[in-house]
Amino acid sequence: MIVVIDRLLEEAFFTTEIANAFDALDEGHATFAKVYDRPGISFEVVLPPSPSDEWVRRRVVGALLYHCQSTGVPVPTCPGVFVSLFVGARLYCVAAYDVLAWASKELHETPEQWLALFGTHELETTIR
């Protein structure tokens, strides 16, 4: 099933035409810092023209959750993380929390379900 990506793109806190991807990402980082009053970590995704629900589930949601968990960022709020979506010749930057909220509605699934599928499944440990 094809997902409606337009609703997600409307959540972008920053968007621009891409002349140079590095410059566009730098602008996204600067905008995130202004909007959220903290530096941000970008998680980049190149969207295909018509992403399926399974593609979104694995390549966006699953990869994002795994990335956040493996770097110690709490899921599903994912503070300080944003997703840089490359769509054709445009870049859309969306807070990770907003991406997951959109995906939850679009896919009719919960973060708990995703963590069971895509989480690191590692227990927190303390080095002594």
What is the extent of the structural domain holding 113?
6-117
Q: Using one digit for the tens of pLDDT, what is the confidence trace for 42-94?
A: 999 999 988 999 999 999 999 999 999 989 999 899 999 999 999 999 999 99
Query: Is 112 within a domain?
Result: yes
Going by pLDDT thresholds of 50, 70 and 90, the confidence category of residue 111 is confident
CB 100 within 8 A of CB 118: no
Query: Is 128 within a domain?
Result: no
Query: Is 126 within a domain?
Result: no
* Spatial CA neighbour of 108 closest among 18, 22, 3: 3
Q: Count the domains in the chain.
A: 1
pLDDT score of 124: 52
Q: How far apart are the first and last CA of the chain?
A: 49
Query: Is 122 within a domain?
Result: no
Pull the structure tokens for residue 91: 């870049």
Query: Is 30 within a domain?
Result: yes
Query: Is 127 within a domain?
Result: no
Which stretches within the chain are classed as H helix? 6-9, 21-36, 53-55, 63-70, 96-107, 111-118
Please check the confidence at residue 30 and state whether its pLDDT lies above 80: yes
Query: Is 123 within a domain?
Result: no
Pull the structure tokens for residue 1: 């099933």
Query: Is 21 within a domain?
Result: yes
pLDDT score of 118: 82
